[in-house]
Amino acid sequence: MTLDIQPNPEQLAQAAADFISAQVKAKPDLSVLVATGHTPMPTYAELARRVRAGEVNFSRVTAVQLDEYLGIDDDDPRSLWSWMRRSFVAPLGLTRTVRLDSPRQFEAAIRELGGLDLAILGLGPNGHLGFNEPPSPPDAPTRTLALTPASLASNAAYWGELAVPTGAITAGMDVILAARQTLLLVGGAHKREVLHAALERPETPEVPASFLRRTALTVIADEAAWA
Ligand code: F6R
């Protein structure tokens, strides 16, 4: 595991953009599992800036959706597919995507890609990865599930007046842990407790992110999250 502590969220985004750009330069047809949520947004904005400046080319990269709410349309502001397209696919100029529609189709698409090269992940306040809610063992498959009260509460921050959908589909722990590299981005004092649990305490399904230590893991956190 590599743990990279950056002084603030801006530097975190720079370091994460450096990491992801280096992967794309080494393998232009990289397949990437893409988290939405707040934490990676400045990173994606910095990557978009680099693409516009001609510093890196994402045109052969495939973006793979990590998770989605159930029962909402693409044009619903809560659609994570739309969020991924808005924040990552369109600004970085990607043409290849894998949508998380059904577990079977999703797993087949990943097999066809030859597996995932990189998983870009955020850390849920309850230790979730994607929507792999506690408890999620390392072999938890791609599936639909009910969100926990903790996730409903934290996701409410994204949607203002709109209700948080209660059902979701997520890439399985098995898919995430099979990625050839994992990048976990963590910012803010509210993640400190769970970050320490994920990196330092024994592996447990109660903190699904604790299983990331089995992977080729890079954690980029800010000082607030690690202090
Ligand atoms: C989003 C996702 C979630 C978030 C996590 C952290 O696609 O899969 O697991 O990564 O909830 O969210 P933020 O970054 O908003 O704290």
Q: Among residues 114, 119, 116, which one has the least CA distance to residue 31?
A: 116
Q: Does the C-beta of 66 come closer than 6 Å to ligand 1? A: yes
Distance 130 CA to ligand 1 centre (A): 7
- E-strand stretches of 51-193: 62-65, 67-69, 96-98, 118-122, 143-146, 167-170, 181-186
Provide the whole-model pTM.
Answer: 0.97
Work out the widest C-alpha separation in the chain, in whole angstroms.
44
Domain ranges of the chain: 2-226
Please give the pLDDT value at position 77. 87
CA distances from 179 to 117, 120, 155 (A): 6, 10, 25
Pairing, β 67-69 against β 167-170: antiparallel
Q: Does the C-beta of 37 come closer than 6 Å to ligand 1? A: yes
Please give the pLDDT value at position 78. 92
Q: Given 46, 67, 117, 222, which residue is catalytic?
A: 67
Tokens of 219: 């954690």
The list of the chain residues with pLDDT below 50 reads: none
Please give the pLDDT value at position 134. 95
Distance 123 CA to ligand 1 centre (A): 6
CA distances from 145 to 2, 70, 71, 133, 216 (A): 31, 9, 12, 9, 27
Q: Does the C-beta of 21 come closer than 6 Å to ligand 1? A: no
C-alpha 91/C-alpha 168 separation (Å) is 26
- Look at the domain 2-226 and name its fold: Rossmann fold (3.40.50)
Distance 66 CA to ligand 1 centre (A): 10
Q: Does the C-beta of 168 come closer than 6 Å to ligand 1? A: no
Ligand 1, atom 5: nearest CA belongs to which residue?
A: 124
C-alpha 126/C-alpha 77 separation (Å) is 24
